[in-house]
Structures are given as structure tokens and as C-alpha cells.
Chains A and B, each alone.
Chain A
């Protein structure tokens, strides 16, 4: 009996995910304003149905929390299959693959910021600048020294982390919104500097950054007739998987707990023995590392970077992703990234109304879900802890 239940649950998970996956592909495929409207209506319908049939909806979602690893595995397989399926369905599949890669890069940056802002309450308004530091570091190392992406990508992460360290140390002792102000200024300053330093290209930026080349396998190769973006798609998918795993593990650990305490009540955190300044410094550096890695991926893939790519508007978009997605919730951040990066592309068909619709979307989301799409839930650490607690601690 129990085994059958498990089997049924797994079938449920697969069914829901496959349907969602193909709906998403269909959404990408049809280029008419109606797809957008239908999509919005569909999401609204699901939202209201979930309010009315709360229990049934809960029953549908329960297998997902029960067999979380299985659900993630199925999703991963679908994502791996995407580049193979999409050309069969979508006319401009290359374009959409590129958009999805960019979404992946944004998710990576947003997760870095989520660790700083969502988990620890540190407002960083220079995410694009740190992302840019990563991109420029990778680009320069690859262009001037001819280093492989295997070295440039981690070094780009370290460079962004180091820049964050240098920025935070002087304002170590300041409180509250000063960090937001300092990062804001830093972001503007860096774009200006990049515009004016000739060695790094000035306003022309860096051109012809070599593509990723791992052990002689160039990422410009077309595997099996698929566009070369597919290579980057898989690379980003793999690195994103690692990023998500790292942050999920950090959330379910002392690190996540300590950070949350610093965010919610810094004084109480100090009273519990936490050296809050030092902790915040580490959080900032770790978050920045992932932004730098994301920047390096972008630089290698596109091959051309220039200062306008890393302006304040980009930072603002990433802050919006974290706030709308729900502070300190990885899944929420991922959903918000898709919403804020893929959706505007889809809205291109309506040309001038695009920004208007985009704005409405954000406002409606925040009215319906003032704490973000998915605010953070209880920290469960591990299924064994949960089981132990359920049994009433025996």
C-alpha cells in the first residue's frame, strides 16, 4: 500500500512537471500578445483556484515537499532535454536558449544578492558592478594572458569577492543604510572608471574575448547540429546547480540561522555571542563571489563587454528580483528571475506598452504577495531533524 502511494506520488510529480514544462515551451513558441495575456490569466486562475481549493492544492503540492530530491531530479532531466526538444517546437529556439542562459546568469547573481540582502539584510546596490568586475577580470585574463576559462572563471569570482572585501572594510562599523549608499556610489564610480580607463577598452569595452575552451573542446562547436549556445546552456546549468546546492546547504545550517538573526535583530544577535560585523563581512564576500562567476560566464559567452552592461539599472533589476521573489527563499528568487527576465522579452511584441505592462505585473505581484512570491519558510536543516521533531523529540 505504502509503496503504491510512493509510486503514485512520483507519477504525480512527473506529470505536473512535464505539463508545466511544455506549457512553458508553448509560451515561448507563440509570438502574439495573446500568449502573454493567456499566460497571465492562467497564472491568475491557478492562484485563485489555490485559494478556493486550498486542500486539494495542498494535496497536489505535498508530494513535491515529500520527495523533494526526486522532483528536483525530474526538473533537471527536463532542463537537460530542453535544447534537444526546443528546436523541434520553437522557430527562434536559439534566441530563447540565449535568453534562458541569461536568466540562469541572473539567477546566479540574484542568489548571491539573496544571500546578502535576503538572508543577512545587507543592501547591496552594486551587484551589476561586482558582476562587471567578474566579467572584466575574466575578459582581461583571457585576452591579455590567454588563460583558460577554467582559471578565469574562479579568478573572476575571487576578484569580485576581493573588491567586496575592500569596499566593506572601511565601512565595517557603520550601520543600516550606509552600506546601501556606499555600494550605490561604488556602482556609479566603477562604471565611470571603466568608461575612462583606456587599458580596459574605455567606452569601447573589451572585444573578441575568447570563448570557453575546456581541455581542447571549444564551446563554439555545434554538437549534433545544435547551435553552439547549447554548450553554454549546459555549462550555466551545471554551475547554477552547484550554486543552488551551496546556498540551499548554507540556508539549512548555522550560517543561515546566524545570518537570519543578524537580519532580524542585530542587537540580539550580538547578545547571543555573534560577531556581527565579521559575519557580515564573510556573507558579503561569499555573495560577491557568485556575482563574479556569473560575470565571467557572460563575458566568455557573448565575447564583448562594455561599461553600459553593468549600469545601475541592472543592479536595480536584481534587487527587484530578490524582493519580489521573496527574501531568503531560493525557489522564490528563481521564479522571480524567470518572471523579470523572460517575461519582458515576451512582451517585445507589444512594443511601446511593454514597460507599462511590466510595471503593472510588478505592482500586482506586490499587492497580492506583499512579502514576495515565496517568503522564507521554516529552516528544516535536514529531514532527520524534522522527523525527530515530529516524533516529539524522542
Chain B
């Protein structure tokens, strides 16, 4: 596999155990710079757990992971986000009572410079900063759905599912992270919406040329169309790795999804 590619992120024997249950076991994964990496696997195979581990929400019971050469094992989620990894969630985690603008602007937290003192005594500096980020937010919304720009001050709770996902993706993008983790973005969407979503992911790639994307998906159509490389998990272990073609014809993968008999023909 393309040796000239630079590794941006890698794990060393990650293990996550809940009591006697291994959710992840000996995970050794590399993410190359600038790629779109897909992760598949049946329900409960540990995909989301893997995201939760590498974003700091869970502390791995064994193993380490490195991002841009730095060991981030055991760091708090907010530290990891500030290093340049941002994510979306399987069930969207937006604040439904807050406006679209607020929900996107919160993503700029790692680069915000105005604190309490500026908020009270130096409004000029604060407003300049808010304006700069608002411009960026409007730019991002214009890429995904220009209709949302008119609704900047509308609570997110009134939006349809796909627009909420878009807001969440904008939130993950606005701080200019190096690695974006998308946790099952098509969850709960119909076929049309899923199609739109795939276009959206292409747009993310176009907008941020240097970003690396890792995406968890159940929908094979999404995985096959957007990802350049695929990793398959089952029972917390990597069972296959390669292009979509390779992985989808892998015997173990078919077995994991459809059962042993089918796999044996």
C-alpha cells in the first residue's frame, strides 16, 4: 500500500474492555493524510467505541494512539479537539434550543480569543471575531444548503434531519481541523437524503483540500462512493482492510454480515 503516503494518525494495540467484555481488541489502524477512510462492521462491532476512544470520551484499557506524531492517549476530549480532531455523533448532538448560528459558532471554540474581559470591556475585539467566524459559517452553509443562511437565528430544533446533520458537519468543519470523524452520518435518513449526504461529503472534501476524513457507515452505498480505503471491524477486531472492492469480497466480511453458510457458498 502506497508507501509515499504520510501517516497522520495511528493506533498501537488499542484495547477497550468493559468489565469482561472486549469492545476493541488489538486495534492497529493507520490513517493517511488527505484520504477518506471508511469503517464498516455489523452492529456492536466497536466502530463508535473506536471513535469514542480516539476522541477521549473513553480511556482505552490498553494501547496508545498518536496524532501527527503526538501521543494523545488518556487526554481529555477537549484537549484532543484542540489538537485538530473534530467529530460528529451518531445521534446528532446539537443544542436544539440554540440557533443555527450558535450551533456552528461553538465549533470555533478552540480558536476563540476573546474571553470574559473582552466580552465586557472590549466589545470591538469580540464583535470583530464573531463577525469573522459568522462570515465563515455563512460561507459553509452556502455550500451545503443556501436556504439555511436565512435561518441563522432560528433554533436548530425546527430543522429537518438532514439539515441538522449539515449544521453538525459545519460545526465540525469551522475550526479547520486536520481530521474529521463522521459517525454514521446517514443514520435515520431515507434514500434521497442519503444521496444528498454523499454529495455533501464530496463538498467537504472540495472545500477543505487538506482535511482527512474518517467515516463510519452502515450504508454500503455511501462507503463505496465516498471512501478511498475501507476498514472492516467485527467483535472489536479488524478483519479486513483495503479498497472497497477488496473488503466487500473478503470472506470474513461477508461472514460477519451474512453468516457462515452464505460465505462458504
Contact = CB atoms under 8 A, between A and B. Distances in A.
Contacts of B233: none
A260 B152 CA distance: 17
B99 A379 contact: yes
B93 interface: yes
A269 B102 CA distance: 12
Contacts of B175: 273
Interface residues of B, number: 50
Contacts of A282: 116
B82 interface: yes
B40 to A, nearest CB: 23
Contacts of B95: 260-261, 264-265, 268
Main secondary structure of the interface of A (DSSP, over half): helix
Interface in B141-198: 142, 149-150, 152-155, 171, 175
A265 B99 contact: no
A252 B105 CA distance: 13
Given A254-B115, A274-B78, A385 B105 contact: no
Interface stretch (A46-54, A229-237, A386-394): A386-394
A184 interface: no
Interface in A256-310: 257-258, 260-261, 264-265, 267-276, 282, 286
Contacts of B120: 246, 249-250
Given A267-B93, A268-B93, A273-B175, A261 B98 contact: yes
B130 interface: yes
Contacts of A392: 138, 149-150
B87 to A, nearest CB: 6
Nearest to A255: B119
B141 to A, nearest CB: 8
B60 interface: no
A348 interface: no
A380 B152 CA distance: 10
B114 interface: yes
B94 A268 contact: yes
B149 A393 contact: yes
B106 A255 contact: no
A392 B146 CA distance: 9
A385 B87 contact: no
Interface of A: 246, 249-250, 252-255, 257-258, 260-261, 264-265, 267-276, 282, 286, 376, 378-382, 384-386, 388-389, 392-393
Interface of B: 55, 57, 76-78, 81-82, 86-87, 89, 93-99, 101-102, 105-107, 109-110, 112, 114-116, 118-120, 123, 126-127, 129-131, 134-135, 138-139, 142, 149-150, 152-155, 171, 175
8 pairs of A and B residues whose beta carbons are closest in the complex: A393-B138, A253-B119, A273-B81, A264-B95, A268-B93, A273-B110, A378-B153, A270-B77
Given A253-B119, A273-B78, 5 more contacts: A269-B106, A272-B81, A378-B99, A385-B134, A393-B138
